[in-house]
Amino acid sequence: MADSLDELGPVDWLVVEFPGPNFGEGQIAPFLDDLVKRELIRVLDMVFLRKTEDGTLETAEISDLDESQLGEVRMAEAELAMVLSEQDVMDLAETIAPGHSAAVLVWENQWAAPFGAAVRKAGGQLVASGRIPTQAVIAAFQADADAEAQTPEGIREGA
Residue 86, pLDDT > 80, answer: yes
Angstrom distances, CA of residue 111 to CA of 9, 30, 49: 7, 19, 28
Domain contains 146: no
Question: Who's near 70: CB < 8 A, 6+ residues apart?
Answer: 23, 26, 29, 62
Domain contains 32: yes
Residue 60, pLDDT > 90, answer: no
What average pLDDT score do residues 41-61 get?
Answer: 88
Could you list the residue range(s) of the whole structural domain that residue 14 is in?
A: 5-113
- Report helix, strand or coil for 67: helix
Q: Where are the alpha helices (DSSP H) in the chain?
A: 29-37, 67-70, 86-93, 113-121, 134-150
Rounded CA-CA distance 39/62 in Å is 20
Task: Flag whether the pTM goes above 0.85.
Answer: no
**Tally of structural domains, the chain:** 1
Domain contains 101: yes
Rounded CA-CA distance 138/10 in Å is 25
Q: Which of 39-48, 76-85, 101-110 has the lowest mean pLDDT?
A: 76-85
Rounded CA-CA distance 150/147 in Å is 5
Residue 2, pLDDT > 50, answer: no
Domain contains 152: no
Rounded CA-CA distance 61/107 in Å is 15
pLDDT of residue 22: 77
pLDDT of residue 38: 92
